[in-house]
Structure 1
Amino acid sequence: MDPFSSEGELLTIHNLFHGGRYSAVINHDTSGLSAENSIPSRVYKIRSQIATGQAAEVAAELEGEDSPDLAVLKAFAEYSQGNTEDAIHTVESLVGSSSDNATVQIIGATVLHLEGRSEEALTLLSKHQGSLEAVALVVQIRLSQNRTDLALKEVLNAKRWAQDSLLVNLAESWVGLRIGGEKYQQAYYVYEELAQAPSTSTPSALIGQAVAELHLGRLPEAEVALQQALEKDPKHADALANMIVLSILAGKEPNEFNENLSLLRDAAPSHPFLTNVAQKSELFDRAAARYTARVRA
């Protein structure tokens, strides 16, 4: 594919977005894109704005838009701000009327999954027509369900028609980190390549590399990668969460653990790591209460 063609430009934007380079997507010149590719490029730009904390601006910008692509993005912007009830109603309506729209499929499935309606999300994604992002989202949902077998099946099917895709390589790495063994090293190579390339060297790539290093028992190398990720984004929630895990595995001083925990609570109070710890703590307290020592007189 000619990198200077309209299709090549869209692929560049696609890779920048999924590499986590949202600012580059927002600032990318799309004036030369064909009419056919202008909508997908605008979708990536809007999603990048939401990802960088500009959800309120997006919601205001899209007020009154009624095309399925823009309507579902407006709903997602509102959902991201906590206005969930109206946003979910809009998403449900669009899923019912425009389930063949690629943006509705991805954003709709994302919202449904976040609401605990994963099977509905998977049903919606099953309608995709050769969408690599839909494949990647299916893999993520299957992994969240602890169905590694089905996630692997999805990856293997996608590799038949998109062998060298960035998203397929990433999805295969996610599954590899769950399978373990020699797959840890394979996943490390993918993330290392992403972390070293100027176009994809992002906190997300460095965190993926660090997670692989942790599984391989290379704690000092994992710490370096996480520190580099935090240098790029000091408030990156996933980097902080993995730094907490690293501090436990490495037996570091409690003050370092507490500092990173405090930073994570400030940066992302509803991060899955924190909610999971809170749930486990509550379960422990319930179990402990059943075995309260009884002192006989």
Structure 2
Amino acid sequence: MASPDHLFGLRNSFYIGAYHAAITSSQSVPAHALSPDELVERDAILYRSYIAIGSHQESAVSRLRELLSDAAIGSNPILRLMAGTIFMHERDYAEALKHTHSGGNMELLALNVQIYLQMHRADHAEKQLRVMQQLDEDHTLTQLASAWVDLVMGGSKVQEAHLIFQDLSEKYPPTCTILNGKALCSMHMGNFEDAEGLLLESLNKDAKDAETLANLTVCSLNLGKPATRYLNQLKLVNPEHTLVKRMSSAADSFDRACQAMA
């Protein structure tokens, strides 16, 4: 008889973006019931959750580094996942892929999809997705990865992504990850009012969720509404966010153009 998977619920909470639930669950899983590898995986999910919500990020990265220093990474999928997470957080995608590119489990493949999309290499992301679909088409991570790729591909694929997020929202509690996914689909389809409603629901769940604040900034601008409040909150929560940097760069360019014309 197979031994029970004590971390199944914890993993799934992390997959769907229920990071606070994952943090709470990881701390309540009894250590005596876990194998040494499961203990490492539990701690990895805990610190990756902190990174995902933007809370104690540097401390969480440091703890992941400590876990890695205790053992050779080698072919261990849990350790390779932690290494990939660290370098992706630091936007060193080439170094992240050194640890994750060969796959090994669904999480590594899903992380590869995310990394390649961040690198604007949707072609490579699609290849990783096809491997995931061959392994388990119904896996939560396969569904999420499909939606991520569909959103990037655009066009009719956006509707397919919307159906995936809708299905996930019926299976699981509406997390910020799922709500933002549905909102992005609505924005791509020009339904900014629907997107705004979904994003405000997400903001009520977590007022410090960086992606919600970024998407609300963009959504508000498209609706002709003030966006300063959300942008300022985003600057406080995640000053290194791509949207903050882009808008700061645009403002600097505008100021230089004004000075040149003065």
TM range (shorter): 0.7 to 0.9
Q: Is the 8 A contact 2:7 2:42 kept in 1?
A: yes
Q: Is the 8 A contact 2:53 2:209 kept in 1?
A: no
Structure 2 residue 75 is matched with structure 1 residue 100: yes
Selected match of 1:241 from 214, 227, 251: 214
Structure 2 residue 219 is matched with structure 1 residue 221: no
Give how far 1:120 is off.
Answer: 2.3
Selected match of 1:138 from 112, 115, 130: 112
- Any idea what the Cα deviations from partners look like across 1:61-88, whole Å, max 9, x if unmatched? xxxxxxxxxxxxx6x1468xxxxxxx6x
CA 273–175 in structure 1, closer or farther in 2 if over 3 Å, else same: same
SS in 2 for 1:292: helix
Higher relative contact order (CA 8 A, sep 6+): 2
Selected match of 1:156 from 121, 130, 152: 130
Q: Is the 8 A contact 1:50 1:77 kept in 2?
A: no
Selected match of 1:266 from 236, 240, 254: 236
CA 187–261 in structure 1, closer or farther in 2 if over 3 Å, else same: same
- Superposed, 1:165-176 pairs within 5 Å as 165-176=139-150
Q: Paired residues, what number? A: 258
Give how far 1:46 is off.
Answer: 4.2
Q: Which has the larger radius of gyration?
A: 1
2-structure distance, mates of 1:20, 1:42: 17
Unpaired runs of 5+ residues, structure 2, are none
Q: Is the 8 A contact 2:54 2:238 kept in 1?
A: no
Amino acid at match of 2:260: T
Counterpart in 2 of 1:292? Answer: 260
Selected match of 1:193 from 163, 167, 173: 167
CA 152–99 in structure 1, closer or farther in 2 if over 3 Å, else same: same
Amino acid at match of 1:12: G
Give how far 1:106 is off.
Answer: 1.6
- Superposed, 1:1-297 pairs within 5 Å as 6-7=4-5, 9-28=6-25, 29-31=28-30, 33=33, 35=35, 37-49=38-50, 51=52, 55=56, 76-77=61-62, 94=69, 97-129=72-104, 131-197=105-171, 199-252=172-225, 256-283=226-253, 288=257, 292-293=260-261
Q: Is the 8 A contact 1:136 1:171 kept in 2?
A: yes
SS in 2 for 1:99: coil
- Any idea what the Cα deviations from partners look like across 1:199-229, whole Å, max 9, x if unmatched? 3421111011100110011111111100100
Relative to the length of structure 2, the TM-score reads 0.84
1-structure distance, mates of 2:63, 2:9: 28
> Percent of aligned pairs with the same residue?
28
Counterpart in 2 of 1:83? Answer: none
Amino acid at match of 2:190: G
Give how far 1:26 is off.
Answer: 3.4
Give how far 1:23 is off.
Answer: 3.1
RMSD over aligned CA atoms reads: 3.2
Amino acid at match of 2:49: S
SS in 2 for 1:6: coil
Give how far 1:33 is off.
Answer: 4.5
Amino acid at match of 2:21: A
CA 224–116 in structure 1, closer or farther in 2 if over 3 Å, else same: closer
Relative to the length of structure 1, the TM-score reads 0.75
2-structure distance, mates of 1:99, 1:247: 47
Q: Is the 8 A contact 1:94 1:104 kept in 2?
A: no
Q: Is the 8 A contact 1:210 1:221 kept in 2?
A: yes
